[in-house]
Amino acid sequence: MSLVIPVGFGLAAIQVTGAAGTAPYVTTMGVDLAAAEGDYVAAANNVLASYVDAFEGLTGENFIMDRVSLFVGDGDGGGSVESTDPGTAGLRDGDMAPVGMAAIARKVTTDLGRKGKGRMFLPGMLADLDVDEGGSIPTASRDIFTARATSFLTNLLDADPAMPLPPVLFHSEGSVSTVPTPIQGMVCSEKVGWIRGRIR
C-alpha cells in the first residue's frame, strides 16, 4: 500500500549519486511544510542543506549529495519539485565498505507497535572499520551515526528559523490513522541494511 501524504506535508527524497553501484541512492524523510507557505523549492533546498550539514563528513568522497525531490500532498493527487542548489561531495576518505550495504537510522516516535516505526538508509557512509564480518556496526560507529542523524533532525527545525520543517513519519493507506506522526529522534541500528538495486 502507498504512503498517504496529507495536505501541508511533503516526502523529501534525498538523492545521492556516485560511480559505484546503481546510483542514484534515494533515502526519504517526511516533513511538515506549514512554514514553507507554498515555497516548496526553498523547502527542498533546506532539506538538502540540512542533510549535507549533518552527513557531509561521513559520506564518502566519491559520492555526491546531489538533490532533493519533494513530493507534496495537496489534496488533488499532489506533485513534486526539485531542489535547485548545487550538490555537495562527501568528505570521508579511506577504505569504504561495499556500496551494497548501508547504515540504517531508525525513526523514533511515541506511537506503539509497527505504526510508530520507520527507518532511513544512510547511503555511501559505511567505511570498512564501521562493520564487522557479521554485518554488525560497532558501538563507537553507531554512536557517531546516531549523533549525525540526530543533527539532521535538528537542522530541519533550526537551519532556517523562518522555515522550520518538522520531521514526520507517514502511514500507509488502510492504517487506523493516516495522520503523520512527529519523529522524536533517530537511532542507528546495530545491523547494516542491504541494498537491492536502489535504496528507497
Q: How many CA atoms lie within 13 A of 122 on its CB side?
A: 35
Among 73-82, 116-125, 184-193, which stretch is predicted with the lowest mean pLDDT?
A: 73-82
Is residue 6 within 8 A of residue 179, CB to CB? The reply is yes
Grid coordinates given for 70: 519533494
Is residue 34 within 8 A of residue 164, CB to CB? The reply is no
Grid coordinates given for 57: 563528513
Helix (H) / strand (E) containing 156: helix 139-158
| pLDDT at residue 160 greater than cutoff 90 | no
- pLDDT, residue 115, reads 56
- pLDDT, residue 81, reads 97
- pLDDT, residue 159, reads 77
Backbone angles phi, psi at 90, to 5 degrees: -70, 165
Backbone angles phi, psi at 197, to 5 degrees: 70, -120
| pLDDT at residue 75 greater than cutoff 70 | no
Amino acid, res. 185: G
CA terminus-to-terminus distance, the chain: 15
pLDDT digits (tens, 9 = 90+) for 86-142: 999 999 998 999 888 899 999 999 876 555 578 999 999 999 999 998 999 999 999
- pLDDT, residue 1, reads 56
Amino acid, res. 195: I
| pLDDT at residue 71 greater than cutoff 50 | yes
